[in-house]
């Protein structure tokens, strides 16, 4: 099961890489979509951990998409 989250502030590949690396440090695999401003994670995931990683990377976590 995939879960999609909205992340504000990502504007380039470097931004996406920063968010991806922050999530990977917590053992969370993610796909980033800059045009949609989303992060999609696979499998069961704790939303609080995703939020923590995104904010630690310097971006605004807006919660689940859709």
Q: Is the pLDDT of residue 12 over 90?
A: yes
The ranges assigned to domains in the chain are 2-58
H/E element, 3: strand 2-8
* Interior/surface letters 27-36, b for 16+ CB within 10 angstroms, e for the rest: ebebebeeee
pLDDT-above-90 percentage for the chain: 91
Q: Would you place residue 43 in the very low, low, confident or very high pLDDT band (cuts 50, 70, 90)?
A: confident
pLDDT of residue 57 exceeding 90, the answer is yes
Does this model's pTM top 0.85? My answer is yes
The Cα 46–Cα 10 span in angstroms is 21
Fold for domain 2-58? Alpha-Beta Plaits (3.30.70)
User: What's the rounded Cα separation, in Å, for the pair 56 and 51?
Assistant: 8
Asked whether residue 45 carries a pLDDT value surpassing 90, the answer given is no
Please compute the mean of the pLDDT values over residues 25-46 and round it to a whole number: 93
């Amino acid at each position: 099961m995939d879960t999609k989250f909205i992340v504000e502030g990502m504007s380039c590949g470097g931004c996406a890489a920063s968010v991806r690396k922050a999530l990977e440090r917590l053992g969370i695999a993610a796909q980033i979509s800059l045009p949609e401003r989303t992060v999609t994670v696979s499998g069961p995931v704790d939303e609080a951990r995703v939020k923590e990683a995104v904010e630690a990377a310097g971006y605004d976590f807006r919660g689940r998409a859709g």
